[in-house]
Amino acid sequence: MTLHETAAPAAASAYQKSVAEYWNQEKNPVNLRLGAVDGFYHHHYGIGEVDWSVLEGPEETREERIVAELHRLECAQADLLVDHLGPLGPGDRVLDSGCGRGGSSFLVHERTGCQVDGISISERQVAFANEQAEQRGVTGKVQFHLKNMLDTGFETGGFQAIWNNESTMYVDLSVLFPEYARLLKRGGRYVTITGCYNNAYGLPSRAVSEINAHYICDIHSRSSYFKEMSANRLVPVSVVDLTRDTIPYWELRARSPLATGIEDAFLTAYKDGSFQYLLIAADLV
Ligand code: SAH
């Protein structure tokens, strides 16, 4: 595979180039050190109860314990997403859209044996993830491509499932979901885990706007997911509000040496009700 396998460049607009640049340069310890725990590199957040005892015990190994605990919570998030992809087996092909360094792709392959294609707009991430596939001996089963999720060039109706793990805030949903309606088999499953702003609060709060500026993204409203899904034959089957489940992760991260500076904005936005962490699963009808 070459990195440039589509005719159109993966980053087709000036905005997309800036997003690609961000992810090409990204080397945060909160991603790299956590991934090094067991080789599953995630760029998403965690869910579940924190084991606060990691902050106690010997000072010299405290950081190591925090890293392992944050990683455990991020893996729990990925596991929950995979639980919602529906029954999959070695005969199925699935798409990890906005795949980062490939953590969720490897997890899905390990759990189901299906063929996984991961796509990212970042050349570096694609190269990293393909190297991982080689090290794991799964090339040909798990493959990563430099592609734009809005215009993948993949064949029509070829995927049993598609997911976005924290990557829909980089694209216009009214352009994204028509592409998924094309790529998915009829009856196929779509899953997203995403932060969204809460329409019941109003428009994006200051803290939500801070998150947008930090990541160069555009967090969508809760309503826009359902509006754009229903306009594109995607019928929700499960909606899970993970907001309360993700707060402990952010509290631990804020108190850890791996904090990146955006922790308070997330905690404020979740706690004042302006921001929600949702899992949405839908079927293509
Ligand atoms: N899903 C991964 C990574 C989330 S970070 C994980 O859970 O670990 C967001 C990802 O979206 C990055 O990999 C970034 O390159 C990708 N991305 C952003 N805009 C994109 C686009 N238009 N097409 C493809 N990937 C995109």
pLDDT tens digits for range 134-183: 999 999 999 999 999 999 999 999 999 999 999 999 999 999 999 999 99
Q: Is the CB of 98 under 6 A from ligand 1?
A: yes
Query: What is residue 1's predicted lDDT score, i.e. its pLDDT?
Result: 44
Going from the Cα of 253 to the center of ligand 1, the distance in angstroms, rounded, reads 22
Query: What is residue 108's predicted lDDT score, i.e. its pLDDT?
Result: 98
CB atoms within 10 A of CB 199: 12
Query: What is residue 3's predicted lDDT score, i.e. its pLDDT?
Result: 46
Q: Is the CB of 170 under 6 A from ligand 1?
A: yes
pLDDT digits (tens, 9 = 90+) for 221-272: 999 999 999 999 999 999 999 999 999 999 999 999 999 999 999 999 999 9
Written as one letter, the residue type at 233 is R
Q: Determine whether 6 is exposed, middle or buried from the number of CB atoms within 10 Å of its CB (0-12, 13-18, 19+).
A: middle
Q: Is the CB of 194 under 6 A from ligand 1?
A: no
Pick the CATH number of 14-284 from 3.20.20.140, 1.20.58.1690, 3.40.50.150, 3.40.720.10: 3.40.50.150
Confidence of residue 29 (pLDDT cuts 50, 70, 90): confident
HEC readout, the chain: CCCCCCCCCCCCCHHHHHHHHHHHHCCCHHHHHHHCCCCCCCCCCCCCCCCHHHHCCCHHHHHHHHHHHHHHHHHHHHHHHHHCCCCCCCCCEEEEECCCCCHHHHHHHHHHCCEEEEEECCHHHHHHHHHHHHHHCCCCCEEEEECECCECCCCCCCEEEEEEECCHHHCCHHHHHHHHHHHEEEEEEEEEEEEEECCCCCCCCHHHHHHHHHHCCCCCEHHHHHHHHHCCCEEEEEEEECHHHHHHHHHHHHCCCCCCCCHHHHHHHHHCCCEEEEEEEEEEC
Going from the Cα of 120 to the center of ligand 1, the distance in angstroms, rounded, reads 5
Going from the Cα of 62 to the center of ligand 1, the distance in angstroms, rounded, reads 31
**Whole-number average pLDDT of the chain:** 95
Going from the Cα of 94 to the center of ligand 1, the distance in angstroms, rounded, reads 16
- Ligand 1 atom at minimal distance to the Cα of residue 23: 15
Q: Is the CB of 121 under 6 A from ligand 1?
A: yes
- Ligand 1 atom at minimal distance to the Cα of residue 171: 22
Query: What is residue 2's predicted lDDT score, i.e. its pLDDT?
Result: 45
Confidence of residue 207 (pLDDT cuts 50, 70, 90): very high
Is it the case that residue 11 has pLDDT exceeding 90? Answer: no
At 76, is the secondary structure helix, strand, or coil? helix
Q: Is the CB of 104 under 6 A from ligand 1?
A: yes
Q: Which residue from 120, 180, 249, 277 has its CB within 8 A of the most atoms of ligand 1, so it is best to mutate?
A: 120
Q: Which residue from 27, 99, 145, 211 has its CB within 8 A of the most atoms of ligand 1, so it is best to mutate?
A: 99
Confidence of residue 8 (pLDDT cuts 50, 70, 90): low
- Ligand 1 atom at minimal distance to the Cα of residue 165: 1
Is it the case that residue 7 has pLDDT exceeding 70? Answer: no
User: How many angstroms separate the CA atoms of 67 and 85, rounded?
Assistant: 28
Going from the Cα of 189 to the center of ligand 1, the distance in angstroms, rounded, reads 19
Confidence of residue 113 (pLDDT cuts 50, 70, 90): very high
% of the chain surpassing 90 pLDDT: 91
Q: Is the CB of 219 under 6 A from ligand 1?
A: no
Confidence of residue 57 (pLDDT cuts 50, 70, 90): confident
pLDDT digits (tens, 9 = 90+) for 71-109: 999 999 999 999 999 999 999 999 999 999 999 999 999
Query: What is residue 12's predicted lDDT score, i.e. its pLDDT?
Result: 85
Confidence of residue 14 (pLDDT cuts 50, 70, 90): very high
Is it the case that residue 6 has pLDDT exceeding 60? Answer: no
Per-domain boundaries in the chain: 14-284
Query: What is residue 182's predicted lDDT score, i.e. its pLDDT?
Result: 98
Find the range with the poorest average confidence among 24-38, 64-78, 159-173, 198-212: 24-38
Give the torsion sign (CA, 65, 102, 264, 83). negative
